[in-house]
Amino acid sequence: MTSAWLVGLPLIAAAVVLARVVTRRGRSGIYILAGIGAVLMIGAVVLLVAALSAGPAGAAVAAGAAKSAAAASGTSSNSAALLGAAIAVAGSTIGAGIAVAYAGAAALAAISERSELFGRAMVIVGLAEGIAIYGLIIGILLIGKA
């Protein structure tokens, strides 16, 4: 399961870079991304219908197979919980960094023109920093489940 993430993360990074390149094409790039999103949504709905049509017996068989596979490989769900915690903390920290970059730049621009906006601007930057705290809390909760 961990190897799937090791393969998947570079693919996700490549998809982000590809989306960035495609959106530079202007309106046609956005239409391309919307089309890709629609295809992925249709695929997700098809998978959902297939999973729901399997019924409870199919779900019980799948759950039993997953438990026996975990027991056979000797791994537990601890690694999945730790990996989830790492992803939650890393993602929220990156998101908070981006949010603080934009909000901080705008706050400095506003403060330079009207100094009485300092308090309001710092509240906005503080809210952006809160995103990282939420990710840290989720990470702590996931580590507690491990």
CATH number for position 137 = 1.20.20.10
Same domain as 109, residue 68: no
Q: Average model confidence (pLDDT) for the chain?
A: 78
Three-state SS string across 101-135, please? HHHHHHHHHHHHHCHHHHHHHHHHHHHHHHHHHHH
Boundary-marking domain end, from 53, 75, 97 = 75
Same domain as 65, residue 15: yes
CA-to-CA dists, residue 3 to 27, 62, 86, 128, angstroms: 37, 21, 15, 33
- pLDDT value of residue 60: 54
- pLDDT value of residue 111: 92
Same domain as 88, residue 122: yes
Same domain as 27, residue 55: yes
Query: What range does the domain containing 45 cover?
Result: 1-75
- pLDDT value of residue 114: 92
Same domain as 13, residue 67: yes
Q: What is the rounded CA–CA span in Å between residue 96 and residue 88? A: 12
Same domain as 20, residue 58: yes
- pLDDT value of residue 110: 92
CB burial of residue 92 (10 Å; 0-12, 13-18, 19+): buried
Boundary-marking domain end, from 22, 51, 75 = 75
Helix-then-strand count for the chain, H and E? 4, 0
Same domain as 99, residue 125: yes
- pLDDT value of residue 74: 47
Enumerate residue ranges in the chain where pLDDT < 50: 74
Tokens of 44: 């997700």
Express the helix, strand and coil content of the chain in percent, nearest 5 each: 95, 0, 5
- Enter the DSSP assignment of 146: -
Q: How far apart are the first and last CA of the chain?
A: 16
- pLDDT value of residue 116: 92
Same domain as 5, residue 56: yes
pTM of the model: 0.47
Same domain as 84, residue 35: no
Same domain as 26, residue 62: yes
Q: With pLDDT > 90 as the criterion, what percentage of the chain qualifies? A: 13
Total domains, the chain: 2
